[in-house]
A and B are shown apart, each in its own frame.
Chain A
Amino acid sequence: MAGVCLAGWWLYGNLVDNLTRTRIPTDFNFLTQPTGFAIPENFGFDPDLPIWRMVLIGVQNTFLAGLVGVLLASIVGLVVGIARLSSNWLVAKLAQVFVEGFRNTPPLVVIVFFSFAVFSFGPLPVFPEALDLKLPGSDSNWLVLSKSRIGIPSLSAERHEGLFWLLVVCGVVAAAGVWVWRSRRHVRTGEPHHRVLWSLGLLVVVALVAFVALGGPYDWSWPARSENGRRLISGFGTSAAYLSLTLALALYTASHIAEVVRASILAVPKGQSEAAGALALSPFQRYRHVILPQGLRIAVPPTINQYLNLVKNTSLGTVVGYADVTNLTRTSIGNANPAPQSIAVLMGVYLVFSLVISLLLNIYNRTVQLQER
C-alpha cells in the first residue's frame, strides 16, 4: 500500500508540475463555468448552466441506460438461460445461437450494428416524415417510428394524483398486514399461505378502486409530432442512440447472464430435480420451488459482475452519439476544459455507480445466503 500511495503521489506531483508549467489550470473551478453547448435530445437544457449541471444530466442519462439495460438483461438472460436447458431441441438450439452470437461479439460492434443496421441505414423514414401508427378507430398514435427518434405512449397526470398515491401506499400497508396474517395462519394451521396472491391481489384491487373512484388520475399521453414534424410534443420520446445502446448492451449482457443462469442451474445436484419429480411436481413447480431458489443463489455474485460491466459499458454510447456522462465529458474537454480534472470527475462518477450497485446486491446476496442450511 505504501508503494502504491508513493507512486500515486509522485505521479500526481508530476502532473501538477507539468500543468503548472504550461499554465493549464489544476483546480476544479471549471465546474462552475457555463457549459456553452447544447445537449442532444434535451431541448430544455440552457447552455448557460454550469458544467456540473451538464455532468448531472450525463449521470442521469447513464443511469437511464444502465437501469433499463440491467432490467432487460436480467429478464432475457433468465429466460434464455433456462431455455438453453430445455428438452425441446429447437428452443435449446435457438437459445444457444443467441448466446454464442452475442457473447462472442464485442459490445462496441453490437452497439454500432444496432445504430447503423437498424436505425441509420434501416428502412425507417427520417423524423419529419416519421411513420405515425394510429390506434384503430382513433386519431392518436400509439407509436411514432423514425430513424432518429421513437415515440411511445406515456402517462400524464390529470387530477388527484397525490391522493391516488396516498391510497396506494395505504394499500401497500394493508397488503403487508395480509402477508403477515397469511404467514401466521400457514404456520398455525398448515394450510397453503398463497401470500403473494393474497397481498398482490389486495393491492391491485385497492389501486383499481382508487383509480376509478378518483375519476382517472392518470391518462394516456399518445405520441404526437409538432406542426413542423420535428419535435415530439406528447408521449415519451427516445432517441435511436439510446435504443441502440440500451438494446445492444441488454442483449450482450443477457447472453452472459444466460450462461451464469445455466451454470447455476446445473450446479444444483441432479438428485434435487429427480426428488421433485418423484413428488409429482410439474416442471414449472420443480423450477419454481426446488431448482431456482437454490440455483439463483449461486448466480447472484457472478451476476453482480455482469451488472457492473453493463453500467460501465454504457460509456460506449459515445460512438453512437448518446449523451451519457462520458460523451458529455469528452465534449467538454474538447471545449477547452482541463482533461485531467474532467476525467477524474468521470472516474468518480463510475466509481460511485459501481460501489452502489455492489453494495445493494451484496446486501441482497447476504439475505439469500443466510437461508442456506
Chain B
Amino acid sequence: MTKRGTILIAVVAAIALLAAACGDDGDDTTAPQPPPPATEAPAEPAAPEPPPATEAAAPETTEAAEEAVELSQAGGRLAEVQARGSVRCGVRDALPGFNFLTPDGDHEGFDSDFCRVIAAAVLGDAGAVDFVDLATADRFTALQSGEIDVLVRNTTFTASRDGKEAANFVYTTLYDGQGVVVPAATGITDLEGLADANICVAQGTTTELNLTDVMRSRNIPFNPVTFGESSEARVGYTAGQCEAFTSDKSSLAVFKYEIENGGGDEQFILPETISKEPLGPAVLDGDTEWAQVVQWAVMATIQAWEFGLDSGNITSATGDNPALARFLGEEGFDPGIGLPSDFAVQVVSQVGNYEEIYERHLEPLGLPLHGSVNDLWTHGGLMYVPPYR
C-alpha cells in the first residue's frame, strides 16, 4: 500500500516538477523572446510577429515573398504564386469525373480542369499546376497551413467552413445535392425503407452531417459505417458492408455508371435530394486579392460560354461589341483585379469554357448539362456571372 502511495506521489511530483520547470523557463523567456520579432518589425510594436515557422513547410523560394507581404491585403498569395511559377491546387486523386489519374499519370476531371483554369489565368500556362492529393479530413488543414493556394476538391460551401475553417469560397462551379443509392434488387424507394440499415458514408463531410440531420428529423434510426474517403466507402458498399451509400448525386451517378458498366448489379438512386451541395473552389481567408483572382478566373469560363466563345473560336474572335472587346482584353482593359488583360483568352483557349469542361468530364457519366440547374441563366439555369467591366 505505502509503496503504491509513494510511487503515485513520485509520479505526480515528477509531472509537477516538469510543469514547473517549463513554466519557469517560459516565464524567463518572456523577456528575451520579444527581441527577435522586434528586429524584424521595429516600427510596429502592435503588429503580430512575423511567423516564418508556420510557413516552413512552404518551399524556400517563397519565403522571401511571404515575409515581405505578410498580412497585407494585396499581393500575398498572388505574388507568391507568380514568384513560384505554379499554382498549388488541393485535389483528390480518387474522384472519377472530378479528378482522377489517367494511366499516363495525368490529372483528369472537372476539378482538375478548374485548377488549370486558375493557372492559365494567373500564369498564362494551364500546365503550371502542382496537384496536391488531400484526404477528406485534411483538406482544410492544408488550406489553413498555406500548403495549397486553392482547394478545388468537390467541396461544399457552408457557413461553418466559411467561418470556423477560415475558408473563402468563390464562385460555385457545380450545384449539386445529396442522394442515396441502393441496389435496385432490394426494392427500397425511399429513406423510410432504410430504417436500421447500415449506410456507408465518408467521414468528416457535409454528406455525413446531412444524413444524420435528415434521418433524425424523420425519426429513422440508422447505423453510419464511416470510411476515411468516399472511394473507400464505395468499396465498403460494393463489398456488402452497407445496404446503402450516400454522396452527392453527381458522384452517385458516376458510381452507378461505373458499377453497371463494370457488370455489377443494377443500382437505384433514391429520387429524394436531401441537401443543397454547392461545390466550388475555396481559398484561405484574409487575402482578398487572391480570392478575387480565383473568382474571376473561374467566372471567365462562364462568361465565355455566354458569349458563345469556346477553345476553338476564342483566338480568332474579335470584339464586335465593347463588352466582348473588354473580355478579350483587346483595348488593354484592366479592371485592376491583378490578372493580365488577356487572361480570359488564355483560360478558354487552353482549357475551354464551362460548357466544354462540363461536357468533357460529367456528361459521359450520365449527367446532362442542358436543362439542369448548372445550365446558363439564359437557359433557366443558375450560371450567372457579373459583367466584366
A363 to B243, CA, bound (A): 49
A114 to B160, CA, bound (A): 37
A331 to B224, CA, bound (A): 12
A47 interface residue, CB < 8 Å from B? yes
Expressed in whole angstroms, the minimum distance between the Cβ of B370 and any Cβ of chain A is 34
* Cβ contact within 8 Å between A6 and B29: yes
B218 interface residue, CB < 8 Å from A? no
* Cβ contact within 8 Å between B197 and A230: yes
* Cβ contact within 8 Å between B221 and A43: yes
What mask results when residues 238 to 260 of chain B are scored 1 for a CB within 8 Å of chain A, else 0? 01111100000000000000000
Count of interface residues, chain B, beta-carbon cutoff 8 Å: 62
B46 interface residue, CB < 8 Å from A? no
Expressed in whole angstroms, the minimum distance between the Cβ of A46 and any Cβ of chain B is 8
* Cβ contact within 8 Å between B29 and A25: no
Q: Is the interface of A mostly helix, strand, loop or mixed?
A: helix
Which residues 9-44 of A sit at the B interface, judged by CB distance below 8 A? 9-11, 13-15, 17-18, 20-25, 36-41, 43
A250 to B225, CA, bound (A): 23
A327 interface residue, CB < 8 Å from B? yes
* Cβ contact within 8 Å between B165 and A120: no
What mask results when residues 216 to 247 of chain B are scored 1 for a CB within 8 Å of chain A, else 0? 10000111111110001001100111110000
Expressed in whole angstroms, the minimum distance between the Cβ of B262 and any Cβ of chain A is 16
- Name the residue on B nearest A13 (C-beta): B49
When distances are taken between beta carbons in the complex, the residues of chain B under 8 Å from A113 are: none
B71 interface residue, CB < 8 Å from A? yes
- Name the residue on B nearest A359 (C-beta): B11
Expressed in whole angstroms, the minimum distance between the Cβ of B269 and any Cβ of chain A is 20
B389 interface residue, CB < 8 Å from A? no
When distances are taken between beta carbons in the complex, the residues of chain B under 8 Å from A330 are: 137, 203-204, 228
When distances are taken between beta carbons in the complex, the residues of chain A under 8 Å from B239 are: 116, 120-121, 147
* Cβ contact within 8 Å between B204 and A335: yes
When distances are taken between beta carbons in the complex, the residues of chain A under 8 Å from B26 are: 5, 9
When distances are taken between beta carbons in the complex, the residues of chain A under 8 Å from B125 are: none
When distances are taken between beta carbons in the complex, the residues of chain A under 8 Å from B136 are: 334
Which residues 280-311 of B sit at the A interface, judged by CB distance below 8 A? 284-286
When distances are taken between beta carbons in the complex, the residues of chain B under 8 Å from A331 are: 137, 203-204, 208, 226
Which residues 326-342 of A sit at the B interface, judged by CB distance below 8 A? 327, 330-339
* Cβ contact within 8 Å between B195 and A24: no
When distances are taken between beta carbons in the complex, the residues of chain A under 8 Å from B137 are: 330-331, 333-334
Given contacts A15-B54, A334-B204, A336-B160, contact A37 B144 (CB under 8 A): no
- Name the residue on B nearest A48 (C-beta): B216
Given contacts A5-B29, A362-B7, contact A17 B226 (CB under 8 A): no
Stretch of A80-88, A92-100, A167-175, A317-325 contacting B (4+ beta carbons < 8 Å)? A317-325
A13 to B36, CA, bound (A): 13
Expressed in whole angstroms, the minimum distance between the Cβ of A336 and any Cβ of chain B is 4
* Cβ contact within 8 Å between A228 and B285: no
- Name the residue on B nearest A355 (C-beta): B11
* Cβ contact within 8 Å between A2 and B25: yes
Expressed in whole angstroms, the minimum distance between the Cβ of A243 and any Cβ of chain B is 13
Given contacts A9-B33, A319-B228, contact A334 B144 (CB under 8 A): no
Expressed in whole angstroms, the minimum distance between the Cβ of B273 and any Cβ of chain A is 20
* Cβ contact within 8 Å between B209 and A226: no
* Cβ contact within 8 Å between A39 and B216: no
Give 29 CB contacts A-B under 8 Å.
A1-B25, A5-B22, A8-B22, A14-B54, A21-B48, A22-B166, A25-B164, A37-B224, A38-B212, A38-B215, A38-B222, A38-B224, A39-B224, A41-B223, A120-B235, A127-B198, A128-B243, A147-B241, A148-B242, A231-B221, A240-B241, A241-B225, A321-B203, A332-B204, A334-B136, A335-B208, A336-B165, A339-B141, A363-B3
- Given contact pairs A334-B140, A355-B11, enumerate 4 new A-B contacts (beta carbons under 8 Å): A23-B166, A37-B209, A147-B239, A231-B221
Could you tell me which B residues sit within 8 Å of A by CB distance? Answer: 3-4, 7-8, 11, 21-22, 25-26, 28-29, 33, 48-49, 51, 53-54, 71, 136-137, 140-141, 144, 158, 160-161, 163-166, 195-198, 203-205, 208-209, 211-212, 215-216, 221-228, 232, 235-236, 239-243, 284-286
